[in-house]
Structure 1
Amino acid sequence: MSVDLQQFVSGLRARWKFSAVTFILGLAATAAILAVWTPQYGSSVKLFISTPTGGQAEFAASFIVTQRVASYSDLATDPSVLQGVVDRLDLDMTFEELAGRVTSSVVVGTQTIQIDTTAPTPEMAQQIAEAEAAELVDLVTRLERPADPNGVAAIAARVAGEPSFSDQPVSPNIPITIGVGVLLSLFIAIAGAVLKDLLDRTVKSRHDVEAITGNAVLSTLPYDPQVKKDPLTAETEGPLSEAFRVLRTNMQYANLDARRHAILVSSAVPNEGKTMVATNLALSMAQAGRSVLLIDADMRNPNVAERLGLENSVGIVTVLVGRSTIDEAIQPHPSGVRFMGTGPMPPNPAEVLETQAMRDLLSTLRDRYDTVIIDAPPMLPVADASILITEVDGALLLVRHGSTTREQLRLAVSRVEAVGGRLFGVVLNRTPRRSPDTYGYGYGYGYGYGVTEKEPPAPKFGGRGRRARR
């Protein structure tokens, strides 16, 4: 399957809800149209145009008949004829409205004019056809009247028979209307999904991430609505906790030469899930037997302490100003993770993070723990993360599926490169269950995720940016 076809199928799969709703609305609209569509009944009548004279005159007139038939067929819908029908039947409509109910045509290869009419009732359709035929006969008689009062008209029109009568409506044609409605709804559903996908500038796949960043997607985190109630998913079992174990494993390949790791977790913009990822990655690494320190460095919006049920009144700021020691600022968590909060919010967080005292603090903490994970502010709104990234081994960049735009991701990567930082890779968060990028793990927890038959290929790390100084 070609790349274009894969993207087409992927777009439809990602927007199946939009397509389904659009298709259902189309069917509902078709049903509504049929419900309010007033049935129309039809009737038809034929007029025969002939040459009533005999002999040589009739022979000459026959050459004219074929030309006159077309002319009288056109005159059947002339305003004067239509107005005559309205007056004859005393119809509650104008001749313009009647014109939409009357058609006239020449039967091919004959001298016959067929008049077709429609009306809300079969009786009315028959009456209009009869009156239309009578008006056209009168028109032919009037136009073909000879100059000599005793002469005979060269051409005459006669009604070939009684107008037809049928109690079966000619419109709507229910099977055809339903068929057209189904096909049109299906087309709009598919075309709308494809167009919506083409106009969507958000990141929705591994391909998008790798094309923009040049780095691997270290893990795709499936969307789980239970995260709001229980944010510490790494302590439970299920596809999301398994995704964090995949992330933990992949992180071991990110810096093979280093015995200790300092990892910055950030995102391009707020609300991408960086705090959830930093917290659960720390828990997952602690489960693997590593000594882990989780630092909340988002002094503008600290919330790691709340997730862990710990205190944020002591932390980085209290250590830097000498109000507490490092040991006093580090709090234990039942999972085995150690935690350091932000402490009181300073007037200018960027200036605090840029001090030599902060660099010395991070250097000291790195020597104490196997892994130091820093929950940093988003890259684009403030400079805090750009300052911190030079003091760690590398960064994890959070991207929220269908929310982070490609331009935001591109700018965030540029920020990392501009300061000489290293990007370990990207975590694609909140991927939909039916996304081809969401790997299943086969544990049968009832989440509905598909099971892959083999593990995804090992990613290539550190594709862009210089390694940060140690």
Structure 2
Amino acid sequence: MNFQQFIGVLRARWKFIVLTLLIGSFLTVGLSMSKAAVYASTGRVFIVVPDNSAQVNDYLSTYLVAQRTASYAELAKDPVLLQKVIDRTGLQLSRSDLASRITTKVVTSTQIVEIRATGPTPVEARDLAEAEITELVALVNEFEKPTSDKPAAVVARSTGTPLLDSVPVGVPLGFVIAIGVILSLLAGIVGALIKDLLDISIKSRQDVENAVDLPVISALPHDPSVAKDAHSAVAPGSPLAEGFRVLRANLRFADLDSSGQMILVTSALPNEGKTLTAVNLAQSLAATGQSVLLIDCDLRSPSVAANLGLENAVGMLSVLLGHISLSDAVQAHSSGLDVLPTGPRPPNPSEVLETDAVGGLLHVVREAYDVIVIDAPPILPVADTSTLIRHVDGVLLVARYGRTRKDVLRLAAERILGLNGRLYGVVLNGIPRRGGGGYGYGYGYGYGATFERPEIASPRPAQGGGRRRVGDDPAAHEAFR
């Protein structure tokens, strides 16, 4: 992974990183604030040879004092002594609790025992340290009590009352919070990288080409207004509208500029944007002045009519059943596009699409229009689309950024090619605006080259100009009367 890809991961998964950062920061602050402050107080006990001892300058006496100092440092945490400290302070503590709050050590190269006590308040810490020192001095002097024939080997003396320290011990709160925030940020970044490595969905042009060896014929950016309401119109000047104009231009390089061409739009699975692509591609083609018919062949889940604000009560099925003529079933849209909805839903969609009547209908409309765009069902869950592929000139396969899995896209492409279908390419839909590098295309052009956008003619009235309609063709009118 290079630096550009790394930045692409951060941009694509910034929400995950921010969420991890916020959760980690809140936990750090919460734990830091909930942890009670601890205060400490330190005092010292000096183990010395009495002035009147005959061994003051004796080397053996110095060694003896060092040994005694170490021994008394250990005895400072003796259970009997600790109980005396508890009794002296009156605190409700067990000996084990007190032992965990008392620390003793011999200062290097000295005869000093340093005693450190901790507590929830500065006063309690000082009182514990003072009581510990008092009891330790008493213990030493009791053990070293002189006799008539033997003077005390050592005596213990306190160096003074332990100080009252009002500053809590431990790492400063601000430092702990700063470290927690930094670690949370790092955890978010590492988590984002791991998620990206484990993610098998389509996220880039390279993912598509590696999965199906097909070009990305157009990259459609995510449009919040369309994502919120699938029936809302695409704003003419929006990046998404530009993406459909790019798709239209690139399709012309696939020999779709001749009369009567029929293109099928499908996806591997539902909710990947095939209807959005079919509707807006048809409108974009109609905007150039061509006669365009959009057919909704998704008999299981029709949505073209609702998307365009048209009526779905009658349509293709009505024509096939002979209830209405083809010219009466076709509805004109304000964009200059003709639309043939599904009509009533049949109980057996696959069987309906396999009939010769459907082939005859498609043949008739091919003769009447410059371009026919078919919104077909997803190809993997049902067999409906497989029966339509033999009638069309080519197929557009729609994939959804971050949702369509690579293996699923590969399987869909293999099924289309296995049916001898011609795949024009993949339309990658829903690319986030923050995408960059391998994680988004900006709003670049299909094959990586910048094609010149053709001039867009003003939409002609549905009934006017030189456009052919089914109703103007006597043969088509009689065929499905």
Alignment of 1:57-456 (within 5 A): 58-141=58-141, 150-171=149-170, 173-227=172-226, 228-229=228-229, 231=231, 233-234=233-234, 236-255=236-255, 260-436=260-436, 437-439=439-441
Say if 1:234 and 1:283, in contact at 8 Å, map to a contact too: no
1-side partners of 2:74 and 2:209: how far apart?
68
CA spacing shift, 1:56–1:156, aligned 2, 3 Å: closer
The one-letter amino acid paired with 1:119 is G
Indicate yes or no: 2:449 matched with 1:458: yes
Code of the residue aligned with 1:21 in structure 2: it is L
**For residues 149 and 259 of structure 1, what CA distance do their matches in structure 2 show?**
129
Q: Which amino acid aligns with 2:325?
A: T
- Following superposition, the deviation at residue 298 of structure 1 comes to 0.5
Does the CA contact (< 8 Å) of 2:302 and 2:342 recur in 1?
A: yes
- The answer to whether 1:20 aligns with 2:18 is yes
**SS, match of residue 91 in structure 2:** coil
Q: Whole-Å Cα distance in 2 between the matches of residues 138 and 302 of structure 1?
A: 95
Partner Cα separation in structure 2 for residue 74 and residue 416 of structure 1:
83
1:55 is paired with a residue whose SS is coil
Alpha-carbon distance in structure 2 between the residues aligned to 1:364 and 1:121: 93
**Cα contact 1:297–1:342 (8 A) shared by 2:** yes
Moved more, 124-133 or 352-361: 352-361
Structure 2 counterpart SS, 1:343: coil
SS in 1 for 2:86: helix
1:313 aligned partner, one-letter code: A
414-423 or 367-376, which moves further after superposition?
Answer: 414-423
Q: Which amino acid aligns with 2:397?
A: L
The match for 2:478 is: none
Corresponding residue for residue 29 of structure 2: 31
5+ residue gaps, structure 2, are: 452-481
By relative contact order (CA 8 Å, sep 6+), the higher-ranking structure is 2
| C-alpha contact 2:222 2:431 (8 A) present in aligned 1 | yes
Of 75-84 and 305-314, more deviation after overlay is shown by 75-84
Aligned letter for 2:4?
Q
Amino acid at match of 1:204: K
- Please say if residues 260 and 368 of structure 2, whose CA atoms lie closer than 8 Å, have aligned partners that are also in contact: no
Answer yes or no: is the 8 Å Cα contact 1:221–1:429 preserved in 2. yes
Asked whether the equivalents of residues 230 and 276 of structure 2 are also in contact (C-alpha less than 8 Å), the reply is no
Structure 1 distance, partners of 2:318, 2:129, is 97
For the structure 1 residues 178 and 311, does the alpha-carbon distance in structure 2 shift closer, same or farther, using more than 3 Å as the test?
Answer: closer
RMSD: 3.0
Structure 1 unaligned regions, length at least 5: 442-451, 461-470
CA distance in 2, matches of 1:204, 1:393: 28
Q: Which moved more, 1:373-382 or 1:400-409?
A: 400-409
Q: Deviations over 1:227-274 (max 9, x none)?
A: 245746456221111111111112222346965432211122212221
Amino acid at match of 1:398: V
Change in CA separation of 1:98 and 1:206 when aligned onto 2, cut-off 3 Å = farther
Cα displacement string for residues 13-36 of structure 1 (whole angstroms, at most 9, x for unaligned residues): 112122223323333333334443
Report if the CA contact (8 A) 1:106-1:112 is conserved: yes
Distance 2:111 2:282 in 1: 93
Shift in Å at residue 164 of structure 1?
2.0
Q: Contact (CA 8 Å) 2:296, 2:304: kept in 1 or not?
A: yes
List per-residue Cα deviations over 1:152-201 (Å, max 9, x = no partner): 45454432332122222224623322322232232233233333333433
More off after superposition, 319-328 vs 304-313: 319-328
2:262 counterpart SS class: strand
Change in 2 beyond 3 A, CA 1:393/1:110: farther
The letter for the 1-side match of 2:181 is: V
> What secondary structure, in the 3-state scheme, does the structure 2 residue paired with 1:163 have?
coil
Q: Which residue of 1 aligns with 2:466?
A: none
2:45 alignment partner, one of 44, 47, 52: 47
Deviations, residues 387-414 of structure 1 (Å, cap 9, x unaligned):
2223222222222222223333233223
Pair member with larger Rg: 2
Contact 1:58 1:154 in 2 (8 A): no
Q: Distance in 1 between matches of 2:34 and 2:59?
A: 55
In structure 2, C-alpha distance between the alignment counterparts of 1:334 and 1:92, rounded to whole Å: 86
Task: Tell whether the 8 Å contact from 1:233 to 1:240 is kept in structure 2 after alignment.
Answer: no
Mapped to 2, the partners of 1:80 and 1:290 lie a distance apart of: 102
Contact 2:73 2:113 in 1 (8 A): yes
Aligned partner of 2:95: which letter?
F
Kindly state the Cα deviation for residue 363 of structure 1 after the two structures are TM-superposed.
3.0
Relative to 1, partners in 2 of residues 1:284 and 1:58: Cα closer, same or farther, differing over 3 Å?
Answer: same
**Is 1:5 aligned to residue 3 of structure 2?**
yes
3-state SS of the aligned residue for 1:100?
helix
Partners in 2 of 1:284 and 1:257 — Cα distance?
13
Q: Which amino acid aligns with 2:195?
A: K
Alpha-carbon distance in structure 2 between the residues aligned to 1:273 and 1:392: 20
> Does the CA-based 8 Å contact 1:51-1:58 persist in structure 2?
no
SS of corresponding position for 2:165: coil
Contact 2:216 2:447 in 1 (8 A): no
1:234 and 1:244 in contact (8 A); partners too: no
Give the whole-Å Cα distance in 1 for the aligned partners of 2:75 and 2:248.
85
**SS of the residue aligned with 2:26?**
helix
Q: Output the CA distance in 2 between the equivalents of 1:107 and 1:119.
A: 23
Q: CA deviation at 1:459?
A: 9.3
Counterpart AA for 1:210:
E
- Paired residues of 2:41 and 2:116 also in contact (CA < 8 A): yes
Determine the C-alpha separation between the residues in 2 that align with 1:69 and 1:178: 41
| Counterparts in 2 of 1:118 and 1:280: CA distance versus 1, 3 Å | same
Corresponding letter in the other structure for 1:217: V
* 1:372 maps to amino acid: I
User: Judging changes above 3 Å, is the alpha-carbon distance between structure 1 residues 192 and 149 closer, same or farther for their aligned structure 2 residues?
Assistant: farther
Compute the displacement of 1:91 (Å): 0.8
Q: Is the 8 A contact 1:202 1:402 kept in 2?
A: yes
- Structure 1 residues 312 and 175, CA gap change in structure 2 (3 angstroms): closer
Q: Percent identity?
A: 47
2:468 is matched with: none
Offset of 1:48 from its aligned partner?
2.6
